[in-house]
């Protein structure tokens, strides 16, 4: 069962958040440190992480970066740090929202509903019966069997699936691959990786990636 992880060292606030979230019918689990949060991450299937920044054994920014490198789990920062640069840093790390304390519990719960509604639309999953891409689990399946892809190929699939039918220019893809932990590459290396990926997931009856000549690539797969 997927759960919401609350990483907050104020135990009274943590308990209050757990209570309010579980009344909303979402299972919740709590951690008071990054160490506890990592242990829970390793042992639970998480739907959302509500994350403080100032924690006893580190800061939430580092934990968010670590989580996003593993799986595309939604993160909502809940913190007293309200400086503009902190808010921007949170969004730059891929957080879905940034809420500062003090806060309204009703508004926070509504924000959680909105985030989870987006998750439940399965934007992170592509499945046309032939190819299944599960970005949360970092898994790709072809004809029901797991298909081995490289980390770079998985990053490419992430960009394509999250930007279905949009033209992704060469520069956009190169920048995003680099920002998301990939190796620095040029246009030729990008083409090599895209062609290798197409060789793994495409056949005569199934085309997923279109090369828009001189501009970039576009995901054309239909669910």
pLDDT score recorded for residue 2:
81
Angle between helices 60-70 and 84-92 (to 10 degrees): 10
Whether the per-residue pLDDT at 14 is higher than 60: the answer is yes
Q: Which residues pair with 206 in a beta bridge?
A: 203
Q: What is the mean pLDDT of residues 195-215?
A: 94
Instruction: Please compute the mean of the pLDDT values over residues 83-107 and round it to a whole number.
Output: 93
Would you state the pLDDT for residue 126? 85
Delineate the domains of the chain, giving CATH numbers in brackets.
Answer: 3-120 (3.40.50.2300), 125-219 (1.10.10.10)
**How does residue 162 score in pLDDT terms, banded at 50, 70 and 90?**
confident
Rounded Cα distance between 2 and 47, Å, is 5
Does position 119 have pLDDT exceeding 70, yes or no? no
For residue 173 the two structure tokens come to 């893809």
Cβ within 8 Å of residue 32, ≥6 positions away? 7, 8, 9, 11, 14, 55, 56
Residue 88 has pLDDT above 60, yes or no: yes
Residue 122: per-residue pLDDT: 53
Q: pLDDT-based confidence at 99, cuts 50/70/90? A: very high
Could you give the C-alpha distances from 97 to 3, 52, 94, 149, 162, in angstroms and in order? 18, 12, 9, 30, 18
More confident residue, 123 or 219: 219
């Amino acid at each position: 069962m997927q759960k919401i992880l609350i990483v907050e060292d104020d135990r009274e606030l943590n308990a209050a958040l757990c209570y309010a979230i579980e009344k909303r019918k979402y299972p919740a689990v709590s951690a008071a440190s990054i160490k506890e949060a990592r242990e829970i991450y390793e042992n639970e299937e998480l739907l959302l992480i509500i994350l403080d920044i100032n924690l006893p054994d580190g800061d939430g920014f580092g934990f968010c970066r670590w989580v996003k490198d593993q799986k595309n789990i939604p993160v909502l920062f809940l913190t007293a740090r309200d400086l503009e640069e902190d808010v921007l840093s949170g969004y730059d790390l891929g957080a879905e929202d940034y809420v500062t304390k003090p806060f309204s519990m009703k508004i926070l719960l509504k924000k959680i509903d909105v985030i989870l509604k987006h998750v439940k639309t399965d934007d992170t999953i592509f499945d046309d019966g032939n190819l299944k891409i599960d970005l949360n689990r970092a898994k790709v399946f072809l004809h029901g069997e797991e298909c081995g892809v490289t980390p770079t190929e998985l990053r490419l699939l992430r960009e394509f699936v999250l930007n279905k039918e949009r033209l992704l220019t060469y520069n956009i893809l190169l920048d995003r691959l680099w920002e998301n932990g990939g190796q620095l590459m040029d246009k030729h290396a990008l083409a090599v990786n895209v062609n290798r990926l197409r060789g793994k997931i495409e056949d005569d009856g199934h085309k997923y990636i279109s090369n828009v000549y001189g501009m970039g690539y576009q995901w054309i797969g239909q669910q």
